[in-house]
């Protein structure tokens, strides 16, 4: 091809690629803005206990919630993203997933999380480990920051009374449905060391009115879901990279069975009225998603190396993060008595 035709041809291709990249960035930005809006609305619903309609000026009430939850989700996904870039694995920017509020929706955090997509193969287990562990550890640290701020900046008792004037009356909670978030080792520890007996510390049945506690709890919940060592979850990537395919298979199936048992325990408790306090039907649903969609087995990487000591230590720390963040009964809903 002569020079006079070659230059316009390559210029046209370059312009197309630049236009595609701009369109992709616009999609990421649009999803982020929509998720910012839906999480702000969700924050208002959690904090005020009402479903609106709201005045535009009052949207600021939901900002602590939306900013905190986007901070945690962005920390998690950009942890994956930058680790992928370090290993020269092509990856998309995060796709934030909005979840609008609908009439009658009881549980809504305003988002279904965020994801990135890798566009080239991960070359070896070292890269797989770094990419897999960077997200949950970054999200965990972000959740820890939000929780520490929440526990050290608890409002006075007037805050809960402004939402529930009858909070301290004998009949409070006797009507309607009562929502309670499940405690975790880390949440309980932070509550113990960062608060004192002279403060009003909300019980787990009221923390959804406190944006930083609610979002911090949600961050731990999402971290624990991702860190379960099954298939291609982040926890699965980590265990596979550390121990190899055979041991991953054993741990993966064992973890799935534990989820099924806890999920079935919640199902039995819900339908037969047992008060075991351990179990949640959501874990049963998650186990089925893992089995049928995400799959239990981890696909092999091209090259597998023994991980260095530093990576192994970080890997075991990540398992500790799972144990600190996991709740066997993360959400319980019961009729008032």
- For 145-199, write each residue's pLDDT tens digit: 999 999 999 999 999 999 999 999 988 877 667 889 999 999 999 999 999 999 9
More confident call, 17 vs 296: 296
Residue 53 is predicted with a pLDDT of 75
In a 13 Å sphere around the CA of 52, the CA atoms on its Cβ side amount to 21
Residue 4 is predicted with a pLDDT of 47
Residue 174's domain spans which residues?
3-335
Distance, in Å, from the CA atom of 15 to the CA atom of 159, rounded to the nearest integer, reads 56
Distance, in Å, from the CA atom of 80 to the CA atom of 136, rounded to the nearest integer, reads 8
Residue 27 is predicted with a pLDDT of 94
For tokens 């009225």, name the residue.
Answer: 273
For residue 301, give the DSSP letter. Answer: P
Q: What angle do the packed helices 309-325 and 185-194 form, to 10 degrees?
A: 80
Q: Of the spans 102-111, 216-225, 327-336, which averages the highest pLDDT? A: 216-225
112-131 confidence digits (pLDDT tens):
999 999 999 999 999 999 99
Q: Total domain count for the chain? A: 1
Residue 7 is predicted with a pLDDT of 55
The band of 243, judged by pLDDT with boundaries at 50, 70 and 90, is very high
Residue 138 is predicted with a pLDDT of 98
Nearest to 118, CA basis, from 142, 74, 83: 83
């Amino acid at each position: 091809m002569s020079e006079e035709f070659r230059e316009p041809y390559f210029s046209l291709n370059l312009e197309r690629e630049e236009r595609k990249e701009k369109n992709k960035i616009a999609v990421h930005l649009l999803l982020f803005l929509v998720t910012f809006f839906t999480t702000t609305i969700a924050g208002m619903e959690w904090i005020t206990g009402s479903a609106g309609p709201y005045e535009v000026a009052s949207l600021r009430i939901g900002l602590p919630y939306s900013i905190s939850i986007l901070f945690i989700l962005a920390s998690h996904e950009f942890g994956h993203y930058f680790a992928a870039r370090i290993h020269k694995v092509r990856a998309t920017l995060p796709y934030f997933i909005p979840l609008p509020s609908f009439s009658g929706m009881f549980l809504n955090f305003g988002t279904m999380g965020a994801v990135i997509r890798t566009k080239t193969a991960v070359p070896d287990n070292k890269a797989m480990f770094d990419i897999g562990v960077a997200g949950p550890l970054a999200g965990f640290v972000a959740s820890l920051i939000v929780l520490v701020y929440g526990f050290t900046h608890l409002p006075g008792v007037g805050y809960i009374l402004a939402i529930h004037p009858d909070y301290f009356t004998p009949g409070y909670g006797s009507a309607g449905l009562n929502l309670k978030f499940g405690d975790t080792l880390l949440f309980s520890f932070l509550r113990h060391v960062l608060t004192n007996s002279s403060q009003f510390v909300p019980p787990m049945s009221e923390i959804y009115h406190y944006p930083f506690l609610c979002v911090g709890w949600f961050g731990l919940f999402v971290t624990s879901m991702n860190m379960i060592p099954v298939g291609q979850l982040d926890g699965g990537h980590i265990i596979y990279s550390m121990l190899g395919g055979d041991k991953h298979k054993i741990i993966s199936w064992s973890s799935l069975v534990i989820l099924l048992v806890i999920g079935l325990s919640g199902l039995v408790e819900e339908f037969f009225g047992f008060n075991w306090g351990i179990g949640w039907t959501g874990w049963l649903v998650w186990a089925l998603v893992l089995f049928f969609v995400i799959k239990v087995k981890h696909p092999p990487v091209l090259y597998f190396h023994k991980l260095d000591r530093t990576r192994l230590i970080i890997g075991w720390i990540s398992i500790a993060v799972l144990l600190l963040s996991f709740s066997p009964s993360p959400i319980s809903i019961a009729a008032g008595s």
